[in-house]
């Protein structure tokens, strides 16, 4: 219900902005031109200021085009390079890995170093041997090499829990599989989806940090503020650009939330592993052990599925982001109104090729004053608004779809994990162990 209300609110906001853009962009310019007084030749010479290159170079301008050319995955194509991991998402990941990893070890050791726990495990193993011997004596269980091998494996795994090096064994195999293995799979699917091989020490958030570094910049705020002050149509375009930027930020927050929540939960579940590993000794309690495995699988699958989907969207989001962030702006003075001597200073759109500053209000077809004058000073068509609404809407749609998927991957991961556990309800795990032991003895 909450997601439905958020979706309805999102649709209403975008619908209002699009309606405003259409209304403001379809102003009756021809009627205005017919009723407007004849413009003096000098003021009508140019709807925007054309400055020499030396003068425009002295202005304070954005550097979006240079950042667009420098942005990409070429620098990361060499796997021997070392990633800086200076992005905020990577920094949070490294912090979680250090702090939560220590908490897992302390929680695990709190059980295995406890004398009461060791005694309980010891007597549980004794009871397993007694039950198996009694069952064989009365004929309930037919002894075989497979049955003995399975019980010896279970007996050995549980015995490790009360040995001095229990944490080292558990960390090298179980923790590394569910923690480091998940991160390696995430980096692998991102490399496949984006076609960019990250550096060896890169975090799973390496590509997301690069996109965030490109978009979350002062230049983006400048572009939004410049569009908001470029007439009514620019105000609508600036609002839509702000929504698109916030949508991308919310996507980053959602991806970080899913990963961090599952990371902490996996660490907690692994920390209480000594309790559930003992349950594998008996058939009556084996289902509790399988449920513990199910939870681990579900928590490991969530970030894998999330980044698998995002990896294919990152290429599209990157392309749409570059198209959306394509206009340059400069800080300059401009007249407060047509024919007014009062001036103000703010960010205005700037064309690096023609060295022209757009100092007048615009709609989606270009400068209003230029269209009223029938063209620029040389009789050419008026330039269009620097921001393309289709680029912004494409970026916003891709971000919204990616964010919606990130909200439902928990259910998908749980369904996959439940499927694994349901397959074991008929003793598939024991069947697998029997087949493996039979193949081993045949050799």
Residue 114 has phi, psi (to 5 degrees) of: -80, 130
pLDDT number for residue 27:
36
- Cα distance between residue 358 and residue 329, in whole Å: 9
pLDDT at res. 270: 93
Of 275, 290, 278, nearest in space to 125 by CA: 278
Query: Which pLDDT score, from 0 to 100, does residue 30 have?
Result: 35
Token readout for 241 is 């650009």
Per-residue pLDDT of the chain (443 residues; tens, 9 = 90+): 444 454 455 445 544 444 444 333 433 333 333 333 333 333 333 444 444 444 445 577 877 777 777 775 444 445 555 556 678 888 899 998 888 888 898 999 998 888 898 898 888 888 888 887 787 777 776 777 777 787 788 888 888 888 888 899 898 888 999 998 899 999 888 888 888 888 878 888 988 888 888 888 888 888 888 888 877 777 888 888 999 999 999 999 988 998 999 999 999 999 999 989 888 888 888 888 888 988 898 888 888 988 988 888 888 888 888 888 878 888 887 666 555 566 777 888 877 776 777 766 666 666 666 766 666 666 667 777 788 888 889 999 998 888 888 878 877 877 776 765 554 544 555 555 555 545 544 54
Contact 234, 368 (CB under 8 A): no
Give the pLDDT confidence of 122-145 residue by residue, as tens digits. 888 888 888 877 877 777 767 777
Cα 87 to Cα 167: distance, rounded to the nearest angstrom: 32
Q: From residue 294, how far is each of 266, 308, 423 by CA, in Å?
A: 11, 20, 11
Distance (Å, whole) CA 89 – CA 310 = 15
**Judging by beta carbons within 10 Å of its beta carbon (0-12, 13-18, 19+), is residue 20 exposed, middle or buried?**
middle
Pairing of strands 362-363, 60-61: unpaired
Q: What is the pTM of this model?
A: 0.74
**What per-residue confidence (pLDDT) applies to 9?**
53
Digit-coded pLDDT (tens) for 173-201: 889 999 988 999 998 888 888 888 888 78
**Residue 43 phi, psi (nearest 5):** -65, -30
Instruction: Walk across the sheet containing 356-357 and list its strands.
Output: 49-50, 356-357, 343-351, 328-335, 60-61
CA distance 227 to 387: 8
Give pLDDT tens digits for 234-263.
788 888 899 999 999 999 998 899 899 999
Give the pLDDT score at 76.
46
Express the helix, strand and coil content of the chain in percent, nearest 5 each. 70, 5, 25
């Amino acid at each position: 219900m909450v997601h439905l209300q958020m979706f309805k609110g999102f649709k209403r906001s975008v619908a209002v902005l699009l309606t405003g853009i259409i209304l403001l962009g379809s102003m009756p310019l021809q009627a205005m031109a017919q009723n407007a007084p004849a413009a003096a030749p000098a003021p009508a010479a140019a709807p925007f200021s054309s400055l020499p290159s030396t003068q425009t170079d002295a202005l304070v301008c954005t550097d979006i085009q240079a950042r667009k050319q420098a942005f990409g995955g070429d620098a990361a194509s060499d796997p021997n390079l070392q990633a800086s991991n200076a992005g905020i998402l990577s920094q949070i990941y490294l912090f979680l890995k250090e702090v939560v990893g220590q908490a897992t070890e302390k929680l695990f050791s709190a059980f295995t170093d406890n004398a009461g726990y060791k005694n309980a495990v010891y007597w549980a193993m004794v009871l397993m041997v007694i039950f198996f011997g009694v069952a064989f004596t009365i004929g309930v269980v037919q002894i075989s090499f497979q049955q003995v091998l399975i019980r010896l494996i279970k007996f050995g795994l549980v015995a490790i829990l009360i040995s001095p090096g229990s944490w080292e064994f558990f960390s090298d195999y179980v923790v590394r599989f569910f923690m480091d293995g998940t991160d390696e799979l995430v980096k692998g699917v991102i490399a496949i989806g984006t076609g960019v091989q990250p550096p060896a020490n890169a975090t799973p958030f390496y590509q997301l940090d690069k996109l965030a570094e490109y978009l979350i910049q002062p230049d983006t705020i400048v572009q939004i503020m410049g569009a908001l002050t470029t007439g009514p149509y620019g105000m609508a375009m600036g609002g839509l650009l702000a929504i698109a930027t916030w949508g991308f930020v919310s996507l980053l927050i959602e991806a970080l939330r899913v990963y961090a929540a599952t990371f902490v939960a996996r660490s907690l579940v692994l920390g209480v592993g000594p309790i559930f590993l003992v349950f594998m000794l008996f058939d009556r309690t084996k289902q509790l052990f399988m449920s513990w495995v199910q939870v681990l699988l579900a928590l490991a699958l969530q970030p894998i599925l999330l980044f698998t989907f995002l990896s294919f969207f990152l290429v599209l989001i990157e392309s749409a982001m570059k198209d959306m962030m394509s206009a340059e702006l400069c800080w300059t003075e401009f007249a407060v109104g047509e024919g007014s001597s009062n001036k103000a200073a703010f960010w205005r759109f700037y064309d690096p090729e023609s060295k022209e500053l757009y100092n007048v209000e615009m709609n989606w077809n270009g400068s209003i004053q230029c269209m009223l004058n029938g063209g620029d000073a040389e009789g050419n068509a008026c330039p269009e608004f620097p921001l393309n609404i289709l680029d912004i809407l494409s970026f916003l749609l891709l971000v919204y779809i990616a964010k919606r998927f990130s909200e439902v991957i928990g259910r998908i991961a749980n369904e996959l994990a439940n499927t694994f556990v349901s397959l074991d309800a008929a003793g598939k795990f024991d069947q697998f162990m029997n087949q493996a032991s039979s193949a081993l003895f045949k050799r």
